[in-house]
Amino acid sequence: MDQLRRAWQNRQLGRDPVRLGVAVRALVQAEGLNKPSPLANLGGIWRELVGVELSRHSRLEGLRRGTLRVEVDSAAHMAELKGLVQGGLAKQLSERFEDGALRAIRLRLGRQSTLGAAGRARPGLEKRRRSC
């Protein structure tokens, strides 16, 4: 934060400017933006617990108020994931997740064409909103 303050003061006093990269790096650190998201940490645990095949057919959409939202690309894969969820998948994820804030998993069926390789959503394609 001091680097940002100095950069601003230098600008106000007509001194030599501070490099943009230095100022941006200081801002990112000051705001804590360099920390990985909780969802990123969950991705690896998700792959381990559900397996590579099911993780390819699902995409972690978000984590809010203890509920992990997951989009699944087909009814067959959703049925498999429902079985895992009923078998205690949320509890297993919560135990291994650092924050421990996971209480529930909400599955949503998306169109097959919206999920590409490795379970990543392809941009610009509409999604059907169905949850369970």
pLDDT at 64: 85
pLDDT at 71: 95
Please state which architecture CATH assigns to domain 38-131: 2-Layer Sandwich (3.30)
pLDDT in tens, 28-38: 777 766 666 66
Cα 73 to its chain centre, rounded Å, is 18
pLDDT in tens, 11-21: 656 566 667 78
Q: Domain segments of the chain: what residues?
A: 2-31, 38-131
pLDDT in tens, 43-89: 888 899 999 989 999 999 988 888 889 999 999 999 999 999 999 88
Cα 115-63-29 angle, rounded to 5 deg: 105
Q: CB-based burial of residue 47 (10 Å sphere; 0-12 exposed, 13-18 middle, 19+ buried)?
A: middle
Label residue 128 by pLDDT band (50, 70, 90).
very low
The residues pairing with 58 across neighbouring beta strands, listed in sequence order, are: 72
Q: How far apart are CA 109 and CA 112, in angstroms?
A: 9
pLDDT at 14: 59
pLDDT at 43: 83
pLDDT at 62: 85
Are 47 and 58 in contact by the 8 Å Cβ rule? The answer is no
* pTM as predicted: 0.57
The H or E element spanning position 62 is: strand 58-64
pLDDT in tens, 64-74: 888 889 999 99
